Structure 1
Amino acid sequence: MTPADLADLLRATAAKVLVERGSDPAVLPDEVKVERPRNPEHGDYATNVAMQVGKKAGMNPRDFATLLAEALGQAEGIDAAEVAGPGFLNIRLAKAAQGAIVAKILDAGAKFGTADTLAGQKINLEFVSANPTGPIHLGGTRWAAVGDALGRILSAQGADVTREYYFNDHGAQIDRFANSLVAAATGQPTPEDGYAGAYIDDIADTVVRANPGVLELPESERHELFRREGVELMFAQIKQNLHEFGVDFDVYFNESSLFASGAVDKAIATLKESGKLYEKDGAWWIASTEYGDDKDRVVIKSDGKSAYIGGDIAYFQNKRSRGFDLCIYMLGADHHGYIGRLKAAAAAFGDDPDTVEVLIGQMVNLVKDGAAVRMSKRAGTVVTLDDLVEQIGIDAARYSLVRSSVNSSIDIDLDLWTRTDNENPVYYVQYAHSRTNQIIGNSAAFDYASVTPDFSLLTSDREGELIRTLGEYPRVLATAAEMREPHRVVRYLEELAGAWHPFQSDKTLRVIPQGDDEVSPINAARLELAKATRQVLANGLGLLGVSAPERM
């Protein structure tokens, strides 16, 4: 019985008790919360549902908890239910019911933990979207890891997720990029507001080799050629780096297409005609302060030209026209103002502002020997995706970037993430998977097939802790999707590894028979427990885009 199964049982039992008492079961919450007590002696699970609804149902919470405990005591799979304090309920599962979690995991396999709670919801998930003016820096790398994991988690809950990269190929930053390439190709110093680094020299050289005589072209033609081909080369490298990092997108959307097609002008005209913009100081504004922005934003400047936000407005309208129910934007730490303006754009088009969700990611720093790493071999002024992968590898890079809430800045200690011991969190989890695989492989030398596992024999504290931790996985996954917090899956995997390692190292809890002993029902049950642990570790690591090695 998983926590979700127990929650359903609790709600059904509580509803029955309320009806018998002449109370309305509508006072019950949609979802009854079930938690694992901090002290295992208090039981396997606990709930405060009686305290939540007792007074609403016209009963003292403790009295309601007593009635609920009596009813639960008769339910299949429940060993005992005890009232504590003002109305808490501590619950112990029957051993067979607890062990049934193992069978449920093995029956579901790779689908264990998945659900259909988001089925029918079409989500546009936009992340990374770095300007094509240089390699992806650490902030963009964090979004690559987190965004890809979030996409997998949302899909695992039934959502139809489209991963999208907004290709910023329009605006002043592209002109500065082109100017930097021209300067490198002609041996001039980098422009004051330009881009520097070995990658600029490489791209400039590639453009010159592919276009002999480019430096003799008129200035405007030369600039346009470097601009067009330089952006193509840079973006091709970005896509390749992301692919090697295990991140691919369903859609690469060109910002310039919004301007070239007239979509920006059309979107702004629609808002202007519908009265969603107001005029002040010769410009047209959108009231983004109504949605949390620090100030209203100019949409049409006093010279009649569209401001940068015009592209954002047209882009949102484009997403909605493609049928997305929810648009999630994953933006950098300097983009807080976008929350209000994007929600304002949604409201201006008549949509619920909550059609837009904006996640803001904080900074990432590399640390080695206790000091910050600040310079890249390739990019010069920033540390890039390639730099991180070169130092610690793809698995450790992805795991370390997803491990913390995006609301907090993180320091990645290169000394820690390259260690091959349990101090390294990703090694700790991957080794747990490797160890399960090793034990399962060793079992092939014995006749387990003729023995029926007896899960009711898994009565030790370590077995119980491991089983209960396995049972938490579906709820962790559902919460990670609901809260848009992939780091919850990471922390869960470390908790699961923390329950597995003491179990597998306990010589009194043998999976493999010792000496000439034959396989017993408890040996078979423990082997199934090892298989279930391997499955959940693999499922969770897969959602993070991290490998589950068979041996280490």
Structure 2
Amino acid sequence: MTPEQLAQALRTVLSDVVAAGDLGVPVPDAASVRVERPKNREHGDWSSNIALQLAKGAGMPPRELAEVVATRLRQVGGVTTVDVAGPGFLNITLDAASAGELARTIVEAGEGYGTNDSMVGRTINLEFVSANPTGPPHIGHTRWAALGDALGRLLRASGADVTTEHYINDFGGQMGKFAGSILARAKGGPDAEVPEGGYPGEYVTDVAQQLLAERPDLLDLPEDEAMSVARERGYALMMERIRTILHEFNVDFDVWFSESTLHDGGKVEEAVARLREQGHVFDQDGAVWLRTTDFGDDKDRVMIRSNGEPTYFAADAAYYLDKKDRGFTEKVYMLGADHHGYVGRLKAIAACAGDDPEKNIEILIGQLINISGERMGKRRGNAIFLSDLIEWIGSDPVRYSLARFPADTPLDLDGEELRKRSNDNPVFYVQYAHARTCNVARLADEDGVRREDGFDPALLTHETEATLLAALGDFPRVVAQAAQLREPHRVARYLEELAGFFHKWYDECRVRPVSADEEITDLHRSRLWLNDATRQVLANGLGLLGVSAPERM
């Protein structure tokens, strides 16, 4: 019996109680009737607080209501005991067969186990990273790359229609400074000074050399033409590098949105006109303003300067409207630690556009991270790029380590510790558990233990098996909650707990015969089902974090 099936059985019991006249409230909807794994295993396999939820409306004490429900729930097949605890909690214990059946459910569901429909019908645009195309992704982008991609996977697993989007800040004077920096290095080599306000990184030299290889005539061109070539091809080469590095980090976007298209396509002017029609635009001191203070912003914002030039804020407004026009009812922005001031103004844009800023837009702010270690101490320069971290530590350890902490927690990670292959390293601990399940299956096959030859869930009675099964059953709830709360770290912490339960089970219970002459029984086969169910959940959970599930380590 899965937690979902148990919750449905509980709702059926509530329907019977209502029909019998013992409960004077409507039957709660399916989303309100949930079971959760109790922290203390002595309290049973599953727990529900439904009696506490309904008691006030029913006009009866929670414990009294819980006793009424418990009496009927004890008659449900597969339920061994139902105890009423504390103020009215229902603590439910399943018989071994019903609990063990979950192993087969998971194996047969495969990659689909853990998916849920809690967010079906929601259309979400998820924007993150959004690096300037004037340099490779650096450590400041890395956290949102890991968390944003994991969040997108979680939202999809929960039934939402999600589009991940990278906003390319390719408009304005920065592109000219980037082109000037490329030309300076093309002319003077790696030690050449770049123009004031330019980009001095070593990567600029790499782009310059690549451009010279493509266009040997670059330095013979008139200055204006050379700058145009450097701007166009430098932009394209850097975007190719950004895409490649993010792909190596297992991050691929559905949409790469160019800021320039907002200006070139007249969408900024269109946005100003649309917001003026809504009554929120006004003219003052020769400039065009949006009255964002009507919606909680600390000051009104200039959209068009007195010289006729649009502001970045105008592009932000046009971009929001463009997302709305593309059918995204929910827009999630994942911004860096220095963007707290953007929260009020972006919500004000949503309100000015006629949306509900509490429902149609969400802004998540991530805190800074620092990754220290010997490799960083030996680096030249002061920029830490994502490619450096991948080469030094590896994509999996970096992604997992960033995913296992809430986004608003400042992080100081030790790169050398992340490289260690020991149980003290969380990503190794979880990946090793997956590899161990694969090894168990390989060796069992060599011994002739095969799932298809039998399965008796009633045999899974060992204490570690009950604990492991309860943890496996909790996975869909963890996924749904992590998506709803925008907290991928809940999946990482769950996987670490699950890995611990599996390792304890592995130490106590044998899947393979102890000796060559030991008879293979359904207990061996049933434990192989449980082993393979654990492997599937570990793989599914790591996949949601964008981390690999190795079969050998």
Q: TM-score, structure 2 length as denominator?
A: 0.93
1:205 aligns with 2:226: no
What is aligned with 1:511?
511
Query: Gapped runs of 5+ residues in structure 1?
Result: none
**1:451 CA displacement:** 4.6
Instruction: Report the CA distance shift for 1:293/1:459 in structure 2 as closer, same or farther (over 3 A).
Output: farther
Give the Cα separation in 1 of the matches to 2:449 and 2:39. 39
Q: Which AA in structure 2 matches 1:235?
A: M
Residue of 274, 277, 280 corresponding to 2:278: 274
Cα 1:431–1:292, aligned 2, differ >3 Å: closer, same or farther? farther
Q: Distance in 1 between matches of 2:113 and 2:351?
A: 38
- The reply on whether 1:334 has 2:335 as its aligned counterpart is no
Which structure 2 residues correspond to residues 155-304 of structure 1 after superposition, within 5 A?
155-187=156-188, 188-304=192-308
1:540 pairs with 2:545: no
What is the identity, as a one-letter code, of the residue corresponding to 1:365?
N
Deviation at 1:434, TM superposition (A): 0.8
Q: Do residues 359 (structure 1) and 371 (structure 2) align?
A: no
Conserved 8 A contact 1:327-1:357: yes
Q: Which residue of 2 aligns with 1:145?
A: 146
Match of 1:480 among 479, 482, 503: 482
Identify the residue that residue 10 of structure 1 maps to in structure 2.
Answer: 10
- Equivalences for residues 446-485 of structure 1 within 5 A: 446-448=448-450, 451-485=453-487
Q: How many residues are aligned here?
A: 546
Q: Secondary structure at the match of 1:11?
A: helix
Structure 2 distance, partners of 1:374, 1:335, is: 29
Amino acid at match of 2:41: P
SS in 2 for 1:54: helix
Q: Alpha carbons of 1:384 and 1:452: their partners in 2 closer, same or farther (altered >3 Å)?
A: same
Alignment-mate amino acid for residue 493 of structure 1:
L
Q: 3-state SS of the aligned residue for 1:115?
A: coil
The structure-2 alpha-carbon separation of the partners of 1:374 and 1:448, relative to structure 1 and needing over 3 Å to count, comes to closer
Which is worse superposed, 44-53 or 10-19? Answer: 10-19
Measured after TM superposition, the shift of residue 292 of structure 1 is: 4.9
- Verify the 8 A CA contact 1:293 1:341 in the aligned structure 2: yes
Q: Offset at 1:52?
A: 2.4
Tell me the CA shift for residue 213 of structure 1: 4.6
Q: How far has the Cα of 1:449 moved from its partner?
A: 5.8
Q: Render the CA deviation track for 1:490-542: whole Å, top value 9, x for unaligned.
A: 11111110110010012xx2111221111122222111100100111111112
Structure-2 residue corresponding to 1:105? 106
Contact preservation (8 Å) 2:25, 2:57 = no
State the identity as a percent: 50
Go from structure 1 to structure 2 and tell me whether the alpha carbon gap of 1:374 and 1:383 turns closer, same or farther (over 3 Å shift). Answer: farther
1:375 to partner: Cα distance: 7.8
Specify the alignment match of 2:92 in structure 1: 91
Partner Cα distance (1:319, 1:207) in 2: 35
SS in 2 for 1:278: strand
How big is each residue's C-alpha offset from its partner over 1:181-201, in whole Å with a ceiling of 9 and x where there is no partner?
A: 233334352334222121112
RMSD (CA atoms): 2.2
Amino acid at match of 1:486: P
1:490 corresponds to: 492
Q: Give the letter aligned to residue 458 of structure 1.
A: L
TM-score under structure 1 length normalisation: 0.93
1:550 and 1:193, CA in 2 relative to 1: closer, same or farther beyond 3 A? same
Are 2:350 and 1:346 equivalent residues in the alignment? Answer: yes
Structure 1 residue 223: Cα displacement:
2.9
Q: Cα distance 1:292–1:92, how it changes in 2: closer, same or farther (>3 A)?
A: farther
Say whether the 8 Å CA contact 2:37–2:474 is kept in structure 1.
no
Match of 1:26 in 2: 26
C-alpha distance in structure 2 between counterparts of 1:428 and 1:290, whole Å: 52
**Long gaps (5+) in structure 2:** none
